């Protein structure tokens, strides 16, 4: 782990030659940009991309952003969060509130009418405004992460303690959102969205735009991560991960660094959640279950911690496998996932990227 | 034909009493349901010891009638005529009863049992009548209070009488009844007294004031029962958390390993109990009641063996990398859950309490302590003592403590750290298996059993501090009681969230938990 703060792109370019890796990256980007455009083609066209495929890939891209966000805190700062699903879901719920208000028009969202509520709870105030909803997407996960992180880092909770506390946090969040009285639709969550900003949410154009927005967010966060990792900030983070006490002896206060990357990561997750909800069309509290969050950790571990491309690769691989397994052998998916956890930690400490890099060296 | 005529007349004479007085059972069988209700009320007011078998048969649904409306009582599949000796015209059909009739039957049985020889039966009957006595029984109760010799039964009877006297015409009688009701801690007395506070119901002001005083008394008694109940369920939850967290504290304290598959060890322990129960049912049904005792060692060795196998194959390679261990053990837990789902099905399996673990002690009118929970509290403490002895009084325990305090130094002194790791991991898993046996007696046994306990037991370990038995015990009971006290006030979910927040705040003050090992190590 001597120089993992360098990005994969930089390292791969040293091994494979810059042209090859840049070519692969551009090719993937070109495919991702082309997909929504091909979706707009008429359905009988040979090159038409079905709504199912587009939704699936869009969903995986959202997961890629989560993996990247998790990698920023785990791979660079050494804080394994088992609660990122909570931030993802909070962003999703903030977006869902807006979509529910859109679908309900002037009335109350359907689930509130079922509960015989007559007025909106205070925290729903202003959610019919798209801009305020977007602010909530950032604020809800950001503020929660800020408060939790402030207390956690102040008392220097780290390692497994930190992981357990985050897991308990997302578990508590799940229980809270499962209650009908919380005002977020109980265990059904939000669904039956109709329009977003006045556009039909199921139309091909809306889908294409949402997909492109996801690609854009992914590229932007990748660029952000790349800049951070190469900056002095990134190097301090890596030092913090490897020897926090020595860093403190050198006169740095690690709390601010941890808190910044932690909140940034949470906000990225929230944004990913906000793009996930309109594409998939549903958000419910099971997104906050500890299982989901810990699964995100295996995406990062499989791809390779401390690299930027690795987590994306891991999220793509695991979710691709999951979609295939749950259709072909639904009984065996959990076995496969379990073995993946074990194999990755035992034999692939540096993930798939590490494996590729080793091959490149030979 | 004088002989034939004589015989005919004789048979008529013999039949006469049967026709004239067909007997209670046949009266009941022939009556419509409103007539049946009236019959039952009359019987309740004038109990007759001879009628008790019929009433009990009615209560157990064993009374049948044929098409002639003659009543029969079924005993072990054979229908015996209830009155007279006539055989059934055809197969009799069971009488249908509605809920109102069932309630009336219970009251009637109780008033008949007031005449029983056994004081315990009379007491139970009097308690039943406290709930359901009818105004028609007033005279009966008065007579019984005067005749009763047993003090306990007489007290219970006077309470039942007081309930009826609340509507007496004489204010003095009502006053005495209200005062008497204040002595009980019965939830029913509260509702009765509350209704008396309304001037429309109770015209006499003195009685109303007395009702108010009595109500306060009853409420105080009820509150005591409630608080004791909460404390008990807190202790019970605490003992379960303790059983779940104890093994975790050992593995985490010793190996620095977060074992996410620990919850699945609980689950495997519960499934071992199920298997033992099934084997007992098949091969030794006469000794079925003893199966939990046999399940304890079975569950311990099964889970300890699985734990040691996991330690040797997976976890050993990950020492010093706690976060990776966390992920790998999570993978193991997924595999174990799915394995159990494939082998036993996704549904819960049925684990029944043996007779000595079902039922409970009625301490107060609104407080019942179930036997299974009492036994589990005792069992948890027993396991703690056993673990303490093992860690502090044996060679293995000495080695375990040495490795916990300083692994390298222990290895230099000749402690086989690898074997100690394996045994300690086995011990932790085995204790979880014992916890699984306990859990199987109070909850559902399904593949997801362990998942619901894992987060709570981690919080116990975090709160209690690493490698400290005393810390784990305090933290488990503290969390359990705090949970149960907060639950009725703000709801189970908000209570859990509040406790989590409190733990985070607590860790600000004591980052190493309640009982920290003192040391000067820094990484």
pLDDT tens-digit series, residues B101-129: 888 888 887 777 777 777 777 777 777 77
Residues contacting A113, CB < 8 A, separation 6+:
A107
Instruction: Give residue B73's pLDDT.
Output: 79
pLDDT < 50 positions in chain B: 1, 16-21
Q: What is the DSSP letter of B349?
A: B
Residues contacting A329, CB < 8 A, separation 6+:
none
Instruction: Give residue B326's pLDDT.
Output: 86
The answer on pLDDT for A114 being more than 50 is: yes
Confidence at A353, pLDDT banded by 50, 70, 90: confident
Instruction: Give residue B332's pLDDT.
Output: 93
Instruction: Give residue A5's pLDDT.
Output: 44
Residue with tokens 């303690």: A161
A132: closest CA of chain B, how far (Å)? 27
Contacts of A334 in chain B (CB under 8 A): 334-335, 337-338
Confidence at A141, pLDDT banded by 50, 70, 90: very high
B339: closest CA of chain A, how far (Å)? 8
Q: Which among B187, B182, B188 is positioned nearest to B212, based on CA atoms?
A: B182
Instruction: Choose among A169, A175, A331: nearest Cβ to B493.
Output: A175
Instruction: Choose among A157, A159, A338: nearest Cβ to B322.
Output: A159
Contacts of B324 in chain A (CB under 8 A): 301, 345, 349
Interface with B, mutate which of A149, A167, A168 (most B CBs under 10 A):
A168
Instruction: With CB atoms and an 8 Å threshold, state whether B504 touches A340.
Output: no
DSSP structure string for A259-312 = HHHHHHHHHHHHHHHHHHHHHH-EE-GGGGSHHHHHHHHHHHHHH-TT-SHHHH
DSSP H or E run through B363: strand B360-364
Distance CA B326, CA B258 (A): 5
Q: Is B402 exposed, middle or buried (0-12, 13-18, 19+ CB in 10 A)?
A: middle
pLDDT tens across A22-38, in order? 888 899 999 998 888 88
* A147–B contact, CB cutoff 8 A: no
B 415-474 → A contacts, CB under 8 A:
455, 458-459, 462
* B334–A contact, CB cutoff 8 A: yes
The answer on pLDDT for A44 being more than 90 is: no
Q: What is the ipTM of this complex?
A: 0.85
Instruction: With CB atoms and an 8 Å threshold, state whether B318 touches A165.
Output: no
Instruction: Give residue B4's pLDDT.
Output: 65
> Of A181-185, A288-292, A299-303, which gets the smallest average pLDDT?
A181-185
DSSP H or E run through B422: helix B417-440
Instruction: Give residue B264's pLDDT.
Output: 93
Distance CA B189, CA A324 (A): 64
Instruction: Choose among A154, A179, A339: nearest Cβ to B331.
Output: A339
* B475–A contact, CB cutoff 8 A: no
In chain B, where are the structural domains located? Answer: 21-101, 114-180, 240-453
* Helix residue ranges, H only, B170-204: 171-181, 187-196
Instruction: With CB atoms and an 8 Å threshold, state whether B462 touches A165.
Output: yes
Instruction: With CB atoms and an 8 Å threshold, state whether B504 touches A148.
Output: yes
Residue with tokens 């005993």: B75
Instruction: Choose among B326, B459, B504: nearest Cβ to A151.
Output: B504
Q: Is B362 helix (H, G, I), strand (E, B) or coil?
A: strand
Closest Cα in chain A to B342: A331
pLDDT tens across A144-192, in order? 999 999 988 887 777 778 888 898 889 889 988 988 888 888 888 898 8
> Of A250-264, A326-340, B166-180, B363-377, which gets the smallest average pLDDT?
B166-180
Give, in degrees to the nearest 5, the angle at Cα A257 between A254 and A259: 105
% of chain A with per-residue pLDDT over 70: 95
Instruction: With CB atoms and an 8 Å threshold, state whether A172 touches B496.
Output: yes
A71: closest CA of chain B, how far (Å)? 14
Instruction: Give residue B54's pLDDT.
Output: 80
Region A233-261: mean pLDDT is: 91
* B508–A contact, CB cutoff 8 A: yes
0.80 exceeded by pTM: no
A 14-33 → B contacts, CB under 8 A:
none
More confident site: B183 or A295: A295
Instruction: Give residue A145's pLDDT.
Output: 95
Contacts of A172 in chain B (CB under 8 A): 493, 496-497, 500
Distances in Å between the Cα of B134 and the Cα atoms of B24, B52, B99, B253, B361 are 21, 18, 16, 64, 28
Instruction: With CB atoms and an 8 Å threshold, state whether B331 touches A176.
Output: no
Distance CA A294, CA A296 (A): 5
B 276-315 → A contacts, CB under 8 A:
314
């Amino acid at each position: 782990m001597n120089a993992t703060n360098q990005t994969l792109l930089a390292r791969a370019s040293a091994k494979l030659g810059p042209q090859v890796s840049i070519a692969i990256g551009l090719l993937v980007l070109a495919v991702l940009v082309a997909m929504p455009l091909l979706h707009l083609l008429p359905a009988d066209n040979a090159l038409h991309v079905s709504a199912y495929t587009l939704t699936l890939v869009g969903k995986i891209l959202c997961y890629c952003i989560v993996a990247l966000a998790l990698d920023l805190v785990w791979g660079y700062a050494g804080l394994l969060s088992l609660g990122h699903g909570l931030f993802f879901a909070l962003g999703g719920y903030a977006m869902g509130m807006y979509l529910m208000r859109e679908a309900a028009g002037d009335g109350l969202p359907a689930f509130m009418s079922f509960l015989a509520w007559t007025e909106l709870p205070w925290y729903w105030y202003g959610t019919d405004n798209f801009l305020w909803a977007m602010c909530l997407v950032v604020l809800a996960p950001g503020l929660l992460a800020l408060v939790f992180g402030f207390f956690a880092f102040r008392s220097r909770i780290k390692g497994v303690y930190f992981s357990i506390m985050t897991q308990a946090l997302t578990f508590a969040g799940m229980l809270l959102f499962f209650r009908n009285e919380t005002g977020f639709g109980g265990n059904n969550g939000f669904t039956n969205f109709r329009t977003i900003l006045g556009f039909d949410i199921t139309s091909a154009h809306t889908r294409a735009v949402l997909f492109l927005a996801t690609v854009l967010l992914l590229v932007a966060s990748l660029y952000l991560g790349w800049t951070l990792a190469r900056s002095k900030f990134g190097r301090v983070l890596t030092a913090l991960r490897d020897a926090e006490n020595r860093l403190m002896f050198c006169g740095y206060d690690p709390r601010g660094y941890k808190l910044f990357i932690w909140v940034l990561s949470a906000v990225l997750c929230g944004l990913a959640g906000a793009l996930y909800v309109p594409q998939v069309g549903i958000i419910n509290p099971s997104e906050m279950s500890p299982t989901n969050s810990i699964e995100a950790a295996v995406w990062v571990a499989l791809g390779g911690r401390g690299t930027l491309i690795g987590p994306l690769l891991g999220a793509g691989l695991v979710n691709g496998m999951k979609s295939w397994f749950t259709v072909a052998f639904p009984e065996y998916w959990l076995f496969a996932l379990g073995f993946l956890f074990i194999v990755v930690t035992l034999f692939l400490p540096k993930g798939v990227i590490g494996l590729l890099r080793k091959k490149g060296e030979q | 034909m004088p002989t034939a005529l004589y015989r005919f007349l004789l048979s008529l004479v013999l039949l006469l009493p049967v026709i004239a007085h067909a007997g209670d059972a046949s009266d009941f069988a022939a009556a419509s349901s409103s007539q049946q209700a009236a019959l039952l009320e009359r019987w309740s007011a004038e109990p007759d010891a001879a009628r008790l078998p019929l009433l009990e048969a009615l209560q157990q649904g064993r009374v049948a009638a044929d098409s002639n409306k003659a009543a029969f009582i079924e005993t072990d599949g054979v229908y015996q005529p209830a009155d007279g000796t006539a055989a059934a015209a055809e197969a009799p059909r069971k009488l249908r009863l509605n809920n109102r009739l069932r309630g009336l039957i219970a009251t009637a049985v109780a008033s008949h049992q007031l005449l029983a020889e056994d004081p315990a039966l009379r007491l139970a009957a009097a308690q039943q009548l406290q709930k359901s006595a009818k105004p028609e029984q007033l005279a009966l109760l008065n007579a019984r209070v005067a005749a009763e010799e047993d003090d306990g039964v007489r007290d219970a009877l006077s309470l039942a009488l007081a309930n009826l006297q609340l509507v007496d015409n004489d204010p003095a009688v009502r006053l005495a009844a209200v005062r008497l009701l204040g002595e009980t801690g019965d939830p029913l007395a509260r509702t009765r007294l509350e209704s008396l506070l309304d001037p429309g119901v109770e015209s006499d002001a003195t009685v109303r004031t007395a009702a108010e005083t009595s109500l306060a008394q009853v409420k105080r008694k009820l509150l005591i029962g409630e608080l004791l109940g909460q404390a008990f369920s807190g202790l019970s939850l605490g003992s379960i958390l303790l059983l779940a967290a104890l093994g975790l504290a050992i593995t985490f304290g010793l190996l620095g390993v977060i074992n996410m598959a620990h919850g699945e060890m609980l689950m495997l322990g519960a499934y071992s109990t199920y298997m033992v129960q099934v084997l007992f049912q098949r091969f030794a049904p006469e000794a079925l009641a003893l199966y939990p005792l046999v399940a304890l060692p079975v569950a311990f060795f099964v889970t300890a063996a699985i734990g040691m196998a996991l330690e040797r194959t997976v976890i050993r390679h990950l020492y010093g990398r706690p976060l990776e261990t966390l992920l790998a053990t999570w993978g193991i837990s997924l595999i174990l859950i799915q394995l159990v789902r494939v082998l036993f099905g996704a549904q819960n399996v049925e684990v029944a309490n043996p007779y000595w673990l079902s039922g409970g002690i009625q301490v107060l009118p609104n407080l019942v302590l179930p036997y299974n929970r009492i036994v589990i509290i005792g069992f948890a403490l027993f396991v703690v003592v056993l673990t303490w002895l093992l860690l502090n009084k044996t060679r293995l325990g000495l080695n375990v403590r040495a490795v916990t305090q300083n692994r390298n130094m222990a290895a230099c002194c000749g402690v086989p750290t690898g074997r100690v790791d394996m045994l300690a991991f086995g011990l932790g898993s085995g204790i979880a298996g014992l916890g699984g046996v306990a859990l199987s007696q109070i909850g559902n046994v399904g593949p997801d059993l362990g998942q619901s306990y894992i987060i709570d037991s981690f919080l116990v370990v975090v709160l209690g501090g690493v490698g400290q038995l005393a810390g784990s015990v305090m933290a488990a009971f503290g969390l359990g009681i705090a949970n149960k006290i907060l639950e009725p006030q703000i709801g189970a979910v908000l209570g859990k969230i509040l406790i989590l927040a409190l733990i985070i705040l607590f860790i600000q003050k004591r980052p190493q938990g309640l009982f920290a090992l003192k040391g000067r190590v820094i990484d």
